Amino acid sequence: MYHHIKKLMFTVRVDEPDPRFGNMLLEQFGGANGELAAAMQYSIQGLNCEDPERKDLLMDIGTEELSHLEVVGSLARMHLKPSKFDREAAEADPLIAIAGGGGVSLFNSQGNPWTADYLKITGELDVDLRSNIAAEARAKIVYERLINFTDDAGTKDALQFLMTREITHMKAFSAALESMKKPTFSIGRLPPTPGLVDQYFNDSTGSGDYGEFDARGPWNEGGDWEYMTSPVISEESAAEDGAMVRVETTPDVADAALQALLVDQLKDILHAEKQLVKALPKLASAARAMQVRDLFERHLAETEQQVERLESCFALLDIKAQAKPCKGMAGLIEEGQEVIGEAGEKDDASADLALIGAAQRVENYEISAYKTARNLAQQLRLPPLVALLAASLSEEENADQLLAQAAQSLMSVAKMPAAIN
């Protein structure tokens, strides 16, 4: 919930309006590094953030950026005011004077409209925090340049305030990133290729007839770095300066061994899905909320299709579709039966939440199994199998999300106080 306080975060004063400078200020109003872009970037990152502490940080700073937008807009409007009635001032920017009546709009200094393409939002908190640090650094530089292009004392004061707050935000984002205690180059979940990650390619060669000199420093020597000479240099020269670049390829793995592993995975999943076809109707019958019952019944139809896809996978491999006992799924289904048996002791919301919990454990088991099989099919370069397995994986992930949403609704109901008679 937003609440607007009419007093500006910083009181703006302009002694001598300058329409041309007002146009420059629009860069921080509707430009790529401006306050609206920052406000939207941090606020939307905050909405997506599942870390409550850092979500609070993002929402705090995102809201402050809206206050900065108001300061910049007020400052720009004061400088642009003469373009409402003065022909010479209007010529500084006819778009503002004629189309905008001398006021501000969401355009940058070149008249380009603001766009959500300016926003850098990945959904990975550490990556987004790094983007925010860079955004604040860019905005700081823009304010510094604006300060250098005006002689108006009141304007300089306001811009100095805004520039300073960019550094404050950089400090806060940097501290939040550091507090996550993630290794500097630990981005995402998949590790980089060992060896290759430490190779520095000297692809911009220099010295002598080759042009400017090749620089060396901590970015390409010392530590784990391996300096790789450009492939366009002769082998004789490379012998003096460093090793030639090695061509990286996917490591050779015996296809027969991988295919045997894939087939084993498919057999396991087939048995798991067949067990689930029998178990889902029982879960649906035990569900008390129509929404939960519908989810189980819908996923039953999906599971039957998944069995057919698995049989198609075996056919594409020219192997008989044969199931292998899946003890993992058997254990999960047994737990589900226990949940059903204990349902009589629970109220409706609690009983359905227990059923959803059992079902989500099943979904996550299947998600892991399908990911393994799909990755093996990718490694074996079997696109038809990849497509079939990816389709089932997508359904399992969607089912898990729908169950999570249903659980949220039930939790809200469970937390509601009893009606007062």
Q: Are the C-beta atoms of residues 57 and 135 closer than 8 Å to each other?
A: no
Rounded distance between C-alpha atoms, residue 66 and residue 105, angstroms: 15
Q: Are the C-beta atoms of residues 30 and 108 closer than 8 Å to each other?
A: yes
* Model confidence at 415: pLDDT above 70: no
Please tell me the predicted confidence (pLDDT) of residue 356. Answer: 93
Q: What's the pLDDT tens digit per position in 282-325? A: 999 999 999 999 999 999 999 999 999 999 999 999 999 999 99
User: Mean pLDDT, to the nearest integer, of 164-170?
Assistant: 96
User: Mean pLDDT, to the nearest integer, of 345-358?
Assistant: 90
Q: What's the pLDDT tens digit per position in 51-87? A: 999 999 999 999 999 999 999 999 999 998 888 778 8
pTM (two decimals)? 0.61
Q: What's the pLDDT tens digit per position in 249-290? A: 555 556 888 999 999 999 999 999 999 999 999 999 999 999
Query: Residue 227 is inside which H or E element, if any?
Result: strand 226-229
When mean pLDDT is compared across 66-75, 83-92, 184-193, the lowest value belongs to 83-92
* Model confidence at 421: pLDDT above 50: no
When mean pLDDT is compared across 28-42, 85-99, 219-233, 357-371, the lowest value belongs to 85-99
Domains 19-179 and 255-415 share a fold: yes
Neighbour count for residue 149 (Cβ, 10 Å): 13
| Alpha helical stretches, state H, 287-382 | 290-316, 327-341, 348-379
Most confident of the following: 100-109, 204-213, 215-224, 325-334: 325-334
Angle, helix 348-379 to helix 255-286, in steps of 10 degrees:
160
What's the fold here for domain 255-415? Answer: Ferritin (1.20.1260)
Please tell me the predicted confidence (pLDDT) of residue 419. Answer: 45
User: Mean pLDDT, to the nearest integer, of 234-241?
Assistant: 50
User: What top-level class would CATH report for the domain 19-179?
Assistant: mainly alpha
Q: What percent of the chain has pLDDT over 70?
A: 89
Angle, helix 383-415 to helix 348-379, in steps of 10 degrees:
160
Bridge partners (DSSP) listed for residue 113: 107
Amino acid at 99: A
Domain ranges in the chain?
Answer: 19-179, 196-244, 255-415
416 falls in which pLDDT band (50, 70, 90)?
Answer: low
Q: Are the C-beta atoms of residues 261 and 376 closer than 8 Å to each other?
A: yes
Rounded distance between C-alpha atoms, residue 39 and residue 134, angstroms: 15
